[in-house]
Structure 1
Amino acid sequence: MKIGLHISNFTWPQGAPQLGPTLGAIATAADEAGFDRISVMDHVWQIGVNGPPELDMLEAYTALGFLAAHTRRARLLTLVTGVTYRDPGLLAKAVTTLDVLSGGRAILGIGAAWNAEESAGLGLLFPPTAERFERLEEALRICRQMFDGDETAFAGRHYRLDRLLNSPLPLSRPRVPILVGGGGEKKTLLLVAKYADACNLFPTPELQHKLDVLKRHCDTVGRDYDEIEKTILYRFTDDVAQVVEDARRFAAMGVSVLHGGVREPWDTKRFELFRDEIVPALEDL
C-alpha cells in the first residue's frame, strides 16, 4: 500500500509571505518520509468543504512546478484538473513540461469540473454537465495522443487541433499516467475503463459497489480491470494502528493508494511518524 499527500488548504500561520518556504518544506519532508505522490487541487478559489472562497488558493500547475523543485522521488498531480479550465492541448503541454522538469514524475489527474461559482467569478468556461463530459472524453483522447507523440490532427465536437506536436515528449513510459477522478457510474467510471491508468474514489460504504461497476465497464470495453490503479481520498491521523487497519481493509478491495491530508502539515515533524512507523507498516500490504 502506497500513500499520497493531498495539499488542499494554503491558509497557514505567517500567511502569504511564508507560503513558499512553508510549502517547500512540506514537500521535502513528505518526499523524504516516503510519500509516493503529492497532489494539489485544481481550483482558483478555496472550496466550501475547506472554508470560504476568500481563503488562500494557489494555481495548480505553477504550484506543482514549485513542488517538483523541492522533491526528488514523489510523483506530482492534481486531484483533479477541471477539464474546462484549460484547453486540452495546453493541458497536455503543461503536464508534459512538469514530467520533463521533474524527471518523469508527473501524473495527469482530470475530471469533468464542478465548481460553477469560481468559474463564473473568473470567467472560466463552464458548460452544462453533458457537454463537460463530452469535453472530458475528447480531452482524454487528445492528451493520450500527445503523450504518445502522435501528431495526427484531431477533430472532435468541441475541440479541433490541426497538429498535436508535443516536443519534448514526456519522460514517463509508456506515457504519463492518467487518473480520472470521480465515482459517477454511467459516465466517469466508463471513462476510467476506456482511457485511464488510475481512478480516485471516496472511502464511503459504496466503495465496493463503485469498484464493481468499474469492473463491469472494464469487461464491456475489453479492459483488464487489474491494470487500473485504485486510489482513495483518506484523512491521515496520528493513530498508526487505525491507519494500518484501514489500509488492510481497503487493500482487500484492491485499493493500492491512500491519498489525503495531514493535520497541520506546516509542522513538518509530523512527517517523522510516517517515515518511522506508517510507511514501514504499509509496505507489505
Structure 2
Amino acid sequence: MKLGVHLVNFDFPGGPAAIGPTLARVGVAAEAAGVDNLSAMDHYLQIAGMGIGDVDAPMPEGYTTLAFLAAHTTSVELQLLVTGVTYRHPGLLAKIVSTLDVLSGGRAVLGLGAAWYEREHVPFGVPFPPLAERFERLEETLQIVHQMWSDDDGPFHGKHYRLAETINSPQPLRRPPVMVGGGGEKKTLRLVARYADATNLFARPDTGPDQVRAKLDVLAEHCAREGTDYDRIQKTVLWAAPVAADAEGGKAFTDQLAGYAAVGIEEVHVMPWTGDPVGFIEGLGGHVIPRLKEL
C-alpha cells in the first residue's frame, strides 16, 4: 500500500515567516521517508471545528504551495485533496495543473470535487451555487480538462462553461491522473467511473473497511455500466483521524489498514494535525511506511 501525506495545519512555530522553510523541510523529509504523494488542502480558509484552528488560522493558496513543494522535491506526486469545482474556472484550472506538471517533471495529480465549504466562499464573493448545479459544473470541468489535455483545441459548449478554444501550451509532460473525491453513490462515484483515474473515500477507525467495501461495490457497478475497467481505477482513502507515527501507533495503524488493503485500497493519505509535519513524516518513515509496503 502507498502512503500520502495531506498537509492541513500551517500554523507553525514562528508564524507566517516559518511556512516556507517548514514546507521546504517537509519536501526533503517526505522523499527521505519514502512518501508517495504530498497533498495540501484546497481551501481559502481553515476549516472551523476541525480541531486545528479557526477560520483566521493560516491557509496558503493551494497551487502556489504545490509549486513551492515541486522545487523542494524530485519524486513525490503533488496534488490538492481536493480542488473544489467552484474555486477556479476549469480552463484556468487545466492550465494551472499543466504548469505544475511541467515544472515538477511530470508529477502533478488533479484532485477534484463538488466543493462544500460555503463559509469560505462568502467572504471573497465567490459564487456557491446549489449542490445540483455544482455537480453539473463538476462534470463539465472533468470534460474540459480532458479536452484541454488532448489534441482537440476546439471549442467547448456546456450548460455552465463556454470556451471558444481549448488551447493549452505547454501541455503536461504526462496527462495528470484525475482523482474525484467523495463517496456519493449516485453522482460522485458515477463521475469516477466515467472520467477519473482514482477515487478517494473517507476512512476512520470507527467505521472499518466494510463501509469502504460497500462504496467500492457501487463504483464497480458504475464501471460496468460505463464500460470502464474497474481495476484501472486507483482506490485511495483519506484517513480522517490522527495517526500516532511512533512504534506503537504505527503498528496499530497498519494493523487497521490490513483490512482496507484486503478490500482493494491501494493508497492511504494521512494528516499531520500538529504544527510539526516534519517530525510526523520522519515518524512515518520509521514506523509506518515499511509496514505499509508489505500490505
Structures share fold, TM-score greater than 0.5: yes
Identity within the alignment, %? 51
Pick from 106, 109, 114 the counterpart of residue 107 of structure 1: 109
Unaligned runs of 5+ in 1: none
* 1:66-96: CA deviation from partner (whole Å, max 9, x where unpaired): 0101111110001110101111000000000
Taking structure 1 as the reference length, the TM-score comes to: 0.95
Answer yes or no: is 1:274 the counterpart of 2:284. yes
Code of the residue aligned with 2:128 in structure 1: it is F
Runs of at least 4 residues off by over 6 Å: none
Aligned equivalents of 2:281 and 2:120: distance in 1?
33
Aligned equivalents of 1:272 and 1:112: distance in 2?
33
Say how many residue pairs are matched.
Answer: 283
Unaligned runs of 5+ in 2: none
RMSD: 1.4
Secondary structure in 2 matching 1:202? strand
Answer yes or no: is 1:214 the counterpart of 2:216. no
* 1:232-265: CA deviation from partner (whole Å, max 9, x where unpaired): 1124322221122122111101000010113536
Contact 1:137 1:191 survives alignment (8 Å): yes
Secondary structure in 2 matching 1:214? helix
Aligned equivalents of 1:112 and 1:256: distance in 2?
23
2:236 corresponds in structure 1 to: 231
Shift of 1:267: 5.9
Code of the residue aligned with 1:39 in structure 2: it is S
Aligned equivalents of 2:277 and 2:96: distance in 1?
31
Pick from 59, 63, 69 the counterpart of residue 57 of structure 1: 59
* 1:201-259: CA deviation from partner (whole Å, max 9, x where unpaired): 01134212111111111111111111110111124322221122122111101000010
Contact 2:22 2:278 survives alignment (8 Å): no
Shift of 1:270: 3.9
Aligned equivalents of 2:279 and 2:129: distance in 1?
44
Contact 1:4 1:258 survives alignment (8 Å): yes
Shift of 1:269: 3.9
2:81 corresponds in structure 1 to: 79
Contact 1:201 1:207 survives alignment (8 Å): yes
1:162 corresponds in structure 2 to: 164
Aligned equivalents of 1:269 and 1:55: distance in 2?
21
1:248 corresponds in structure 2 to: 258
Secondary structure in 1 matching 2:116? coil
Secondary structure in 2 matching 1:240? helix
Contact 1:80 1:111 survives alignment (8 Å): yes
Aligned equivalents of 2:73 and 2:130: distance in 1?
38
> Structure 1's 20 and 44: CA in aligned 2 closer, same or farther, altered over 3 A?
same
Shift of 1:45: 0.4
Taking structure 2 as the reference length, the TM-score comes to: 0.92
Contact 2:110 2:177 survives alignment (8 Å): yes
